[in-house]
Homo-oligomer: A and B are copies of this chain.
Amino acid sequence: MRCQKCKGTASVEVRRHHAAFCNDHFVEFFDRQVERAIEGEGMFTREDRVLVVVSGGKDSLALWDVLLRLGYRTSGLYINLGIGEYSQASQRKAEAYATGRAADLLIADIPLEFGMGVEAFARATGRASCSACGLSKRYLFNKVALDRGFAVVATGHNLDDEAAVLLGNVLHWQTEYLARQAPVLPSTHPALVKKVKPLYRIAEREAAAYAIIRGIDYIVEECPNSVGAKSLLYKEALNLLEQAAPGTKQSLYWGFLDRGRALVGALDDHELRGCRYCGQATTAEVCAFCRMTERAAERMRVRRAAAERPASDAADAGPEAGQHAVSGRSAASTR
């Protein structure tokens, strides 16, 4: 297999483009795809301050790396979700990357701020782990970006991620979610920062190849809570199709952007207003994150109170008891 640019030995095949590249020309290809995404979709300019959400995994570190190399003004944001050793190991990868590149890394620490991690949020509210985690991440990166004046938040979602979400939305014809699926979500409220996905033209295995070629040390393990996640199932089905017909994922997602999205119609952002507690954009009086953390904090207080009371009283205290305001709804700490 030969590099289609220099005819040297190819190291990465990109079957859906009928192409193969040596290391250097693969990085060039990668850069070009990311630039096309950023410029073609009007994501941000070289003047904008971009907050890159990094998880310690290959996609987000590859994203940060390519943006740094291409000369964009970025800071990284690592969100400690409090998922035991997994979160600690991920944080070490993000920190090591930032230190190695002398890049600016912010840390938002959920256990430190809220006294518990996203798994406790999930338990307290009956949400699935991935749902509580996603809600927390979206809340926090938006908050940090707002507080620190970033123009835009960039996440490392790649083509495989977007195609899997799209497949799930189509399998259930969730038209409202379909309307929200785009590489750029503009700011539709003063408290809602623009969100972009510069890797939407990059397949998962290409992000991994880029990270390896660029010597990025990333966390290889999947989140322990992702076992059995629907997104992994959808990726498996898409990989089966991609294997037989390279380009299927691209056709699904890019075709949606070209033709399907027009069918779904414009994003309907109802009537967004500021959350009564935190001011972030919400359609309700109190935003979903504040409702979740309030409920989790309440449950923890009830438990503590039960533990401190004599045994005979403890049985009366259900999770619904008590109506205290939540503390710790302040900004995520950053270093």
Q: Which residues of A contact B (CB under 8 A)?
A: 170-173, 175, 230, 233-234, 236-238, 240-241, 244-245, 248, 251-252, 255-256, 258-260, 263-265
Q: Are A171 and B248 in contact, with the CB atoms below 8 A?
A: yes
Task: Check A172 against B255 for contact (C-beta < 8 Å).
Answer: yes
B241 with A233: CB separation less than 8 A: yes
Complex contact B237–A172 (CB within 8 A): no
Chain B residue at smallest Cβ distance from A238: B237
Does A171 lie within 8 Å of B252, measured CB to CB?
Answer: yes
Flag if B233 contacts A244 (CB, 8 Å): yes
Given known A245-B230, A263-B264, contact A173–B240 (CB-CB < 8 A): no
* Chain B residue at minimum C-beta to C-beta distance from A228: B244
Residue with the greatest number of chain B CB neighbours at <10 A, chosen from A233, A237, A256, A265: A237
B-side contacts of A263, CB under 8 Å = 175, 263-265
Q: How far is the CA of A260 from the CA of B241 in the complex (A)?
A: 22
A sample of 17 more A-B contacts (CB under 8 A), given A172-B252, A173-B252, is A170-B252, A171-B241, A171-B248, A173-B251, A173-B258, A175-B259, A233-B241, A233-B244, A233-B245, A234-B241, A236-B240, A237-B237, A237-B238, A237-B240, A240-B240, A263-B263, A263-B265
Q: How far is the CB of A159 from chain B (nearest CB, A)?
A: 14
A258 contacts across to B, CB distance below 8 A:
173
Chain B residues closer than 8 Å to A252, beta-carbon distance = 170-173
Q: Are the CB atoms of B230 and A260 closer together than 8 Å?
A: no
What B residues does A259 contact at CB under 8 A? 173, 175
Instruction: Tell me the complex Cα distance, A256–B236, Å.
Output: 22
Q: How far is the CB of A251 from chain B (nearest CB, A)?
A: 5
Closest 4 A-B residue pairs measured CB to CB? Answer: A173-B255, A263-B263, A237-B237, A173-B259
